[in-house]
């Protein structure tokens, strides 16, 4: 039975959905345009493997607090670290998709003592392909995105999900309605991710393009070694954050790459069993539990 409520993380109140019990905690962070309910098919599989699972709405999304500042990597990482502490464990397995992956990464780098293992999915790190992620500069335009998502959230969310997902049978009209409601509540809040975190990535992308054309410039830094075990999951058919980025991200994090064939951008919704298996392969099972089995494409 799902349990719902608010848990503080620093100055932010996170609305969380929790399943299972015990000290083996997995915290699952969603991306855009979802909320914590997007893990509804992964969470039970992790509970069967012995975990207590907590799925917060990210700050700025859904029913969590929606301040218009505090979206720098350091603040976001500090808040998730404090959220883990307030869930009464010392460490958690931290999993993040899309923007949730960026927040999870920031947390693992800044607070490795709070993270037992890290899984990031479809989440560029030091890499962008603006030919595919053309929405990033568009959503840095002032005011227009706020107005668009206030007056037409449902068609925009439906179009975005249908474009980015390959196995889209999981996205019922009811689910899409919920996501549209989550992003229309206060668009200026979640747009802060694009207007804060993405700007550094865009600058890095531009500098890399210049470096490629100017041989006299120094090479970029090497891998950013994490102090926790990590895996990178990526849909091989992802049209938004294309698969050619995956190996670079895994290299830069010194992490294991897990390709997911036949899957688009929303890996945890399109192939929840494969995602659950990858988490368990990295972090192990809880006490006395086993790895879930069955068809890779869970219903």
Rounded CA separation 48/247 (Å): 31
% of the chain surpassing 90 pLDDT: 73
Looking at residue 299, what is its pLDDT? 46
Looking at residue 205, what is its pLDDT? 47
Looking at residue 29, what is its pLDDT? 98
Looking at residue 195, what is its pLDDT? 86
Any bridge partners for residue 256, and if so which? Answer: 231
149 vs 221, more confident:
149
Looking at residue 54, what is its pLDDT? 98
The total of other beta-carbon atoms located within 10 Å of residue 1's CB is 5
Looking at residue 286, what is its pLDDT? 72
Long-range contacts at 130-138 (CB < 8 A, ≥ 24 apart):
130/202, 130/205, 132/239, 132/240, 132/241, 132/242, 133/240, 133/241, 135/160, 136/194, 136/198, 136/201, 136/202, 137/202
**Is domain 3-283 given the CATH code 3.40.50.1820 in the classification?**
yes
Looking at residue 134, what is its pLDDT? 54
Rounded CA separation 170/273 (Å): 13
109-151 pLDDT tens trace: 999 999 999 999 999 876 665 565 656 666 677 778 899 999 9
Q: Is the pLDDT of residue 24 over 50?
A: yes
Looking at residue 58, what is its pLDDT? 97
How sure is the predictor about 168, in pLDDT bands with cuts at 50, 70 and 90?
confident
Q: What residue ranges do the domains of the chain occupy? A: 3-283
Q: Is the pLDDT of residue 28 over 70?
A: yes
Question: Any residues with CB less than 8 A from the CB of 233 and at least 6 apart, and which?
Answer: 119, 120, 121, 122, 258, 260, 267, 275, 278
% of the chain surpassing 70 pLDDT: 82
Q: What is the pTM of this model?
A: 0.88
54 vs 203, more confident:
54
The count of C-alpha atoms lying within 13 angstroms of the C-alpha of 159, restricted to the half-sphere facing its C-beta, is 7
Looking at residue 298, what is its pLDDT? 44
Q: Is the pLDDT of residue 88 over 50?
A: yes
177-194 pLDDT tens trace: 999 998 999 999 999 998
Looking at residue 217, what is its pLDDT? 42
- Buried/exposed code over 137-148 (b: 16+ C-beta within 10 A; e: otherwise): eebeeeeebbeb
- Buried/exposed code over 24-44 (b: 16+ C-beta within 10 A; e: otherwise): bbbbbbbbbbbbbbbbbbbbb
Rounded CA separation 45/266 (Å): 17
* Tokens found for residue 10: 């620093």
**Average of per-residue pLDDT values in the chain:** 87
Q: List phi, psi (to 5°) of 30.
A: -85, 175
Looking at residue 142, what is its pLDDT? 77
Looking at residue 211, what is its pLDDT? 45
Looking at residue 125, what is its pLDDT? 78
């Amino acid at each position: 039975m799902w349990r719902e409520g608010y848990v503080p993380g620093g100055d932010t109140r996170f609305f969380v959905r929790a399943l299972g019990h015990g000290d083996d905690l997995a915290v699952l962070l969603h991306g855009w345009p979802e909320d914590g309910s997007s893990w509804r098919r992964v969470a039970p599989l992790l509970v069967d493997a012995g975990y207590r699972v907590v799925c917060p709405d990210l700050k700025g999304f859904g029913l969590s607090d929606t301040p218009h500042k505090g979206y720098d990597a350091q603040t976001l990482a500090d808040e998730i670290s404090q959220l883990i502490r307030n869930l009464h464990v010392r460490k958690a397995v931290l999993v993040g998709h899309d923007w949730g992956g960026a927040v999870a990464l920031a947390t693992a780098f800044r607070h490795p003592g709070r993270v037992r293992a890290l899984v990031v999915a479809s989440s560029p790190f030091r890499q962008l392909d603006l030919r595919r992620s053309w929405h990033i500069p568009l959503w840095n335009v002032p005011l227009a995105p706020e107005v668009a998502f206030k007056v037409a959230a449902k068609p925009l969310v439906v179009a975005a999900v249908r474009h980015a997902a390959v196995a889209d049978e999981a996205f019922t009209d009811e689910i899409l309605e919920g996501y549209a409601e989550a992003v229309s509540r206060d668009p200026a809040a979640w747009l802060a991710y694009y207007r804060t975190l993405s700007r550094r990535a865009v600058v890095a992308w531009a500098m890399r393009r210049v470096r490629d054309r100017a041989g006299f410039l120094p090479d970029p830094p090497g891998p950013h070694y994490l102090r926790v075990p990590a895996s990178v999951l990526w849909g091989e058919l992802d049209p938004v954050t294309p698969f050619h980025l995956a190996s670079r991200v895994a290299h830069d994090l010194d992490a294991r790459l897990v390709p997911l064939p036949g899957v688009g951008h929303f890996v945890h919704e399109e192939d929840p069993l494969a995602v659950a298996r990858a988490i368990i392969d990295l972090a192990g099972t809880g006490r006395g539990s086993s790895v879930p089995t069955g068809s890779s494409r869970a219903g």
